Amino acid sequence: MSNTERIIEQLKAISPAALCDDCLSERSGVEPRQQVNQICRHLASQGKVLRKQDQCSQCGGNKIVNSAAVPAPPPTSPPWPSLPPPTIDQMRRTIVRFCQRLWDLHQDGPRPRGLADLIRSLMDGAVIPSHIATAMHTIRSLRNNWEYEDHWGPHEADMAEQAWAIVREWAEKADPVLWRESTRPR
């Protein structure tokens, strides 16, 4: 196996994580480190490797790191193709399904019963970032306002759409398959 093949194999094995040249040299057995640098720069020029300043997933250093270039997922149809943007109730149901699946994949123990507790627990467990949890809580609160207080106007709709965009963009990157499954209407 060539050094180039060993590097590509290592990057695919850890994808989507990224490694600096030093750690990639160590993991792949390609030495010296400068050879890893040359190979990765060449692979990056071909679009096979992504190189950027970021944190190395192995040593934690803030360096230029390498990751496998993952082809863009095929375009998917919108989750509610015959409807305009999802309703606030559809947004909430999608978040419930997505968070339940995230819990089942990443957490141990019984799943929290309420959506607010589920979101908070996933955030506390570092499964979802705090700004995503905030957007999810916004949708949850707006939906409750719509459902129980019968108050819904253009400002609430705008706020829900913005929070939805934040959640959707993050979820599509974090776990596109899980997100697609969660957005299918039932």
Summarize pLDDT for 67-83 with one digit per residue, the tens: 988 654 555 545 544 44
Domain boundaries, the chain: 3-68, 88-183
Mean pLDDT, the chain, rounded, equals: 88
Distance in angstroms (rounded) separating the CA atoms of residues 58 and 96: 33
Q: What was the pLDDT predicted at 131? A: 96
The answer to whether the CB of 122 falls within 8 A of the CB of 99 is yes
Q: What is the pLDDT of residue 31?
A: 93
Mean pLDDT, residues 120-140: 95
Please say if the pLDDT value at position 154 is more than 50: yes
The answer to whether the peptide bond before residue 86 is cis (omega within 30 degrees of 0) is no
37-93 confidence digits (pLDDT tens): 999 999 998 888 999 999 999 899 999 999 988 654 555 545 544 445 789 999 999
pTM above 0.85, yes or no: no
Q: Rounded to the nearest 5 degrees, what angle is found at the Cα of 120, between the Cα atoms of 118 and 124? A: 115
Let me know the angle formed at the C-alpha of 121 by 157 and 92, rounded to the nearest 5 degrees. Answer: 25
What's domain 3-68's architecture?
Orthogonal Bundle (1.10)
Q: Report d(CA 85, CA 112) in Å as an integer.
A: 29
Task: Of 52, 25, 27, 26, give the one whose Cα is nearest residue 39.
Answer: 25
Residues 6+ apart with CB under 8 A from 26: 58
Strands (E) located in 36-162: 49-55, 62-68
